[in-house]
Structure 1
Amino acid sequence: MNSSNADIAFFHAPIGLVELENRVIRRANRRFSMIFGGTAAEYADRPLRDFYPSEAEFERIGARGLAVMRRTGEYHDERIMRRADGDLFWCRVRGQSLTPEDPFRHGIWSFADISDERPLVQLTPREREVAILTCRGLSAKEVGADLGLSYRTVEAHRARLLDKFGARKLPELVAKLSGMPL
C-alpha cells in the first residue's frame, strides 16, 4: 500500500485513530473527531491529557499503560474520557507502540465510544479503577494487589459501586458495568 492509500485508510477507518508521539496527538482521523467533537485537523499537536477527566487520571493510566507496554508493546483498557465540549463518556482504548524500546515515543491508538453500552455514573478515580479491574474478573485480593490496597478497602469500594449502580450482588454489578443485558 503506498503512502497515499495508507493515509486514506487511516483517515477513513471505521474506528477512531490517532498517531501519538510522547502522548501528544500528531494526527487524528475522521472517526476520532466524530467521537471527541470538532474536526480531525483541530487535534494536531494537542496533548492527550486534554481528554482525560483529570490530570491524576492521565498520570495514573499512563503509568499503568507504560508498565504494560514495556513488556508487550501494546495496551488496552476501557476508561472514562472527556470530549472537546467537556462531556464524559466511556471509551475503549487500544494502543500499539511503534518504538518498543520507548513505548510512548511513537504509536498508533484506537478509540471507540462505548457509552451506549455503559452507564455513566459519577465515580471517584479509585472507584473507576476498582470497577474496571472487577469487570476483568479479578478477585478483591487481586484488585488490591494491583492497586496497592487491602482487600477490605477494595470491598468497601465495591460496596459503594453496588449502591451507585443499584446492584444487589457482584455479578449484577459486573453486568451493569459491562453493558450486558440483565
Structure 2
Amino acid sequence: MRNKAAEKNQVIDYHRAFQDAPVGQALGRDRVIIACNRAFAAIFRAGVDDLVGSSFERLYPTQTHFEQTGDRIAPVLAKHHTFSDDRVMRRLDGELFWVHVSGFTYTPDDPHHDTLWAFTDLSTGRKVNSALRGSMTPRERDIAALLIEGKTGKEVARALNISPRTVDIYKTRLLRKYSVSSTPDLVKRLLAG
C-alpha cells in the first residue's frame, strides 16, 4: 500500500497547471471567455481579468470575421471534436497579428457551448505546419497583417521601416501564393481562413 503522504505529493494542481502553461489557453462557453491563462492574456496584451467574461469577438479583426469563423468551424468541431488553423487576430491594443489556434469541443451537438482553445503567437517568426499561412515568412505575415488593417503600400513600408518597392515584392508574392489579383481580394482570402 502506498502511504497517504506519497499520494498527496502526486496530486496535480490542474488549476495551477492551466495558469502556468507556456501556451495561451482559454475556456469558452458559447464563444465567451470563461477562463484563460496568463500566456493567453499576454498574447492579447491584456490581463486575465480584462478578458474573462468577454466575447472572443473582441479578439477578431471585425465582427464579420468573428461570425464567419464561428460558422466555418462549427461543423468541423461537431464532426471531429477538434479544429486547428492559422488566422489573423487582434490584440487589445488594436495590433493585428497571426496566431495558430487549436480547439476542442466538449459538446459536439452544440459545438461552441463548451470549448477549450490553445493559441500560439506566430508573429515571433516561427514556422508552423499548415498550408499557405504556415508557409509564409515572418515578413510576409507582417505585411499581410498591415494590409488587413487597410494600410497602403507606403504606410506598410513606413511601419516596417522598409522600402515601398520591398513591400511591392512581398505583396506580389502573397498575391501569387493566394492566387488573387488585387489587394482587396488578398485581404478577403486571408480573413476567410
Check whether TM > 0.5: yes
Tell me if the contact between 1:81 and 1:91 (Cα under 8 Å) persists in the aligned partners: yes
Partner of 1:129: none
In the alignment, the residues of structure 1 paired with residue 29 and residue 174 of structure 2 have an alpha-carbon distance, to the nearest angstrom, of: 44
Does structure 1 residue 17 correspond to structure 2 residue 17? no
Superposed, 1:15-164 pairs within 5 Å as 15-117=23-125, 118=138, 119-120=141-142, 121=144, 122-123=147-148
Amino acid of the residue matched to residue 19 of structure 1? L
Change (3 A) 1:166 1:24: same
1:168 and 1:64, CA in 2 relative to 1: closer, same or farther beyond 3 A?
A: closer
Q: Which of residues 1, 15, 33 is equivalent to 1:7?
A: 15
Alpha-carbon offset, residue 41 of structure 1 = 2.1
CA RMSD of aligned residues (A): 2.7
User: How many residues get paired?
Assistant: 136
Rg: which structure is higher?
2
Q: Give, in angstroms, the shift of residue 164 of structure 1.
A: 5.4
Query: SS of the counterpart of 2:113?
Result: coil
Indicate the percent of aligned positions where both proteins have the same amino acid. Answer: 30
1:165 maps to 171
TM-score, scaled relative to structure 2: 0.63
Unpaired stretches in structure 1, ≥5 consecutive residues: 125-161, 174-182
Tell me if the contact between 1:11 and 1:28 (Cα under 8 Å) persists in the aligned partners: yes
Q: How far apart are residue 163 of structure 1 and its match?
A: 6.3
Question: What is the distance in 2 between the residues matched to 1:93 and 1:101?
Answer: 21
Please list every run of 5 or more consecutive structure 2 residues that lacks an aligned counterpart in the other structure.
1-9, 126-137, 150-167, 180-193
Deviations 1:149-178 (A, max 9, x none): xxxxxxxxxxxxx965242995699xxxxx
CA shift, 1:106, in A, is 0.4
